[in-house]
Amino acid sequence: MDAILDQRPLWSRGSVQNHLGAFGFSGDEVFREISSLSGGERARMALALITLSHANLLVLDEPTNHLDVENIEALEDALDEYEGTVLLVSHDRAFLREVATRVWAFDGTRLVDFDGPFVEWEEDRAHRAAKASRADADAAELKRQQEKERAKKNAASQEGDHAARRARKRAADDAEAAVQRHEARIAEVEAQLGDADLYDGSPDGAKKAAQLDQELARLRKALDQAMAAWAEATEQS
């Protein structure tokens, strides 16, 4: 209560309690020492003070950590009403969809400035990912055809044991099948990421999108390894 009165000395006790109530503090909790608060309670208290400050720039690092759904919604409302500039870092996609009006996203070592809300950035990212995937698939198909031609020439010039040759051919077929399985799964994951229903703003959708992003990264790495194994196997067949 004293901390809030320092910011608003003319407020009545009821006004202070109403303000703190919006951040989850009720009853005798308003008289607690700030030093006795937990990490999540301190975060809520900091937000209660920030909303009363006269600063025209807020820098927030993962502001939704330790906050429940009700307090996250209160923070979103406070930021919507805030007239200054907010620079925030967050992995909470649902929160970003509600408040972010411009996106700075890291693409490897490059910083991409997207002048639009987070939901539009997600759509743009999914579109670019699908386009890149198609280009990669075309390149992979061309590479497979080239490798097959080279494998045929190598096979025609090879001499030796027929049984060993058949074994090498089976290894090449198995490696190619592994490549095709990875490519098929990558196409499925990319299709799911491109589904607009995934970005409905729900926590489950955000969680699933993050899981699909991680799976796609693993699949692409596995595909590179499978392609290398397939190329090696076809050269030896």
**pTM for this structure?**
0.46
Q: Which domain holds residue 124?
A: 118-236
Same-domain pairing of 151 and 208: yes
Per the domain annotation, does 191 fall within a domain?
Answer: yes
Tens-place pLDDT, residues 159-191: 556 777 777 788 888 888 888 888 888 888 888
Q: Is 77 domain-assigned?
A: yes
| Interval 16-31: pLDDT, tens | 999 898 888 888 899 9
Q: What is the mean pLDDT of the chain?
A: 85
The verdict on 122 and 227 lying in the same domain is yes
**Do 233 and 172 contact (CB within 8 A), yes or no?**
yes
Confidence (pLDDT) at 153: 77
Number of domains in the chain: 2
- For the stretch 83-111, pLDDT in tens is 889 999 999 999 999 999 999 998 888 99
Span 136-167, pLDDT tens digits = 887 888 888 888 888 877 766 665 567 777 77
Measured distance CA(13)–CA(64) in Å, rounded: 28
- Domain harbouring 11, CATH code: 3.40.50.300
Whether residue 34 is found in the same domain as residue 132: no
Q: Which of 71, 90, 109 is the last residue of a domain?
A: 90
Q: How far is CA 113 from CA 56, 100, 125, in A?
A: 22, 13, 12
